[in-house]
């Protein structure tokens, strides 16, 4: 009887361990589906830029050709034969160009000669990024505000900063923080606010296939930590016309 009880106890312990392992795996899967990022910095290898853009295009084209072949596509067809090269060029030169620091926009500052001391808000900046978990688009808008510390920047530079950090595989939380940190550094002020509202095609076109939802992320620092200042910013964001 004692031996039987020991065997039963061992079996129960094994079942608990297997159940626990399944729960851990489930949590990990949920983390991926929930777009949890690991760092403010985009994960990159140290040798990320040893290959030239052209070398990357050639290698990606070869790999993508293999993917299409495995899927059963006929690469001898006129419509498909150039697809691997087109996808490779799109990845390197367009949608992921923000991975390369050489493409980072320069932010030239000017003296705030007109002594403008209120917040400046740039609304509805286009966000076109890619989910790093499924490599499908993230599409939305970014609203940015800052209060000058004595310097101002050309308006187009704000848009270019948003574009630069968007053009890489991303999670929206990291994208929000990267834009905010770059703006604070470029503008030499902590008084910065960032608001992103975006649709994730990994949600709308796969998995749950929910086409009616969007994701909002924010960053408030400096003066924007004050409820009244933040409220003013959000009023401008929501105002139309």
Residues 78 and 193 in one domain: no
- Cα separation, 130 vs 144, whole angstroms: 20
CATH code at position 167: 3.30.1130.10
CB 144 within 8 A of CB 121: yes
- Cα separation, 23 vs 222, whole angstroms: 40
CB 144 within 8 A of CB 163: no
Does the annotation count 58 as an active-site position?
no
Residues 76 and 132 in one domain: no
Q: Determine, yes or no, domain membership for 27.
A: no
Does the annotation count 41 as an active-site position?
no
Q: Which of 35, 131, 178, 219 is catalytic?
A: 131
Q: What's the total number of domains in the chain?
A: 2
Does the annotation count 202 as an active-site position?
yes
Burial class (CB in 10 A: 0-12, 13-18, 19+), 70: exposed
Six-digit token pair at 46? Answer: 């140290």
Six-digit token pair at 50? Answer: 């040893």
Does the annotation count 142 as an active-site position?
no
Does the annotation count 26 as an active-site position?
no
Name, in order, each residue with C-beta under 8 angstroms of 66's C-beta and a sequence gap of 6 or more.
none
Does the annotation count 200 as an active-site position?
yes
Residues 128 and 199 in one domain: yes
Residues of the domain holding 78: 53-95
CATH code at position 72: 1.10.286.10
Q: What is the pTM of this model?
A: 0.82
Does the annotation count 132 as an active-site position?
yes
Residues 74 and 115 in one domain: no
Q: Which of 142, 172, 178, 219 is catalytic?
A: 172
The string of DSSP codes covering the chain is -HHHHHHHHHHHHHHHHHHHHHHHHHHHHHHHHTT--S-SSPP--TTTTSS-HHHHHHHHHHHHHHHHHHTT--TTSTTTTTHHHHHHHIIIIIITGGGSGGGPPP--EEE-TT---SEEEEEEEEEEEEETTT--EEEEEEEEEEE-SSEEE-HHHHHHHHHHHHSSEE-HHHHHHHHHHHHHHHHT-S-EEEEEEEEEHHHHSSTT--SS--EEEEEE-GGGGSHHHHHHHHHHHH---
Residues 121 and 77 in one domain: no
CB 98 within 8 A of CB 164: yes
Q: Determine, yes or no, domain membership for 115.
A: yes
Q: Which of 35, 143, 199, 202 is catalytic?
A: 202
Q: Which of 58, 97, 133, 232 is catalytic?
A: 133
Q: Which of 35, 132, 142, 177 is catalytic?
A: 132
Q: Which of 58, 97, 134, 232 is catalytic?
A: 134
Q: Determine, yes or no, domain membership for 142.
A: yes
In tens digits, what is the pLDDT along the chain, a chain of 241 residues? 444 545 555 555 555 544 444 443 343 344 444 444 457 899 999 999 999 999 999 999 999 999 999 999 999 999 999 999 999 999 999 999 999 999 999 888 888 888 888 999 999 999 999 999 999 999 999 999 999 988 888 889 999 999 999 999 999 999 999 999 999 999 989 999 999 999 999 999 999 999 999 999 999 999 999 999 999 999 999 987 5
Q: Which of 35, 143, 200, 219 is catalytic?
A: 200
The maximal CA–CA distance of the chain, rounded, in angstroms, is: 91
Residues 114 and 233 in one domain: yes
């Amino acid at each position: 009887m004692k031996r039987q009880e020991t065997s039963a106890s061992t079996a129960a312990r094994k079942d608990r361990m297997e159940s626990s392992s399944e729960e851990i795996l489930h949590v990990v899967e949920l983390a991926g589906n929930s777009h949890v990022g690991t760092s403010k910095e985009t994960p990159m290898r140290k040798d990320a830029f040893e290959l030239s853009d052209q070398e990357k295009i050639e290698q990606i084209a070869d790999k993508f050709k293999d993917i299409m072949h495995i899927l059963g596509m006929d690469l001898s067809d006129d419509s498909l034969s150039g697809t691997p090269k087109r996808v490779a060029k799109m990845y390197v030169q367009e949608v992921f160009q923000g991975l390369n620091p050489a493409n980072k926009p320069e932010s030239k500052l000017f003296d705030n000669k007109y002594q403008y001391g209120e917040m400046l808000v740039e609304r509805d900046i286009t966000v076109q990024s890619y989910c790093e978990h499924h490599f499908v688009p993230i599409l939305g808008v970014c609203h940015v505000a800052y209060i000058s510390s004595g310097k101002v920047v050309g308006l187009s530079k704000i848009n270019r900063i948003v574009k630069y950090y968007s053009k890489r595989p991303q999670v929206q939380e990291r994208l929000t923080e990267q834009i905010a940190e770059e703006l604070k550094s470029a503008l030499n002020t902590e008084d910065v606010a960032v608001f992103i509202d975006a649709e994730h095609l990994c949600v709308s076109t796969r998995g749950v296939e929910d086409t009616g939802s969007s994701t909002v992320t924010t960053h408030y620092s400096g003066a924007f930590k004050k409820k009244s200042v933040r409220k003013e910013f959000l009023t401008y964001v929501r105002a139309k016309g």
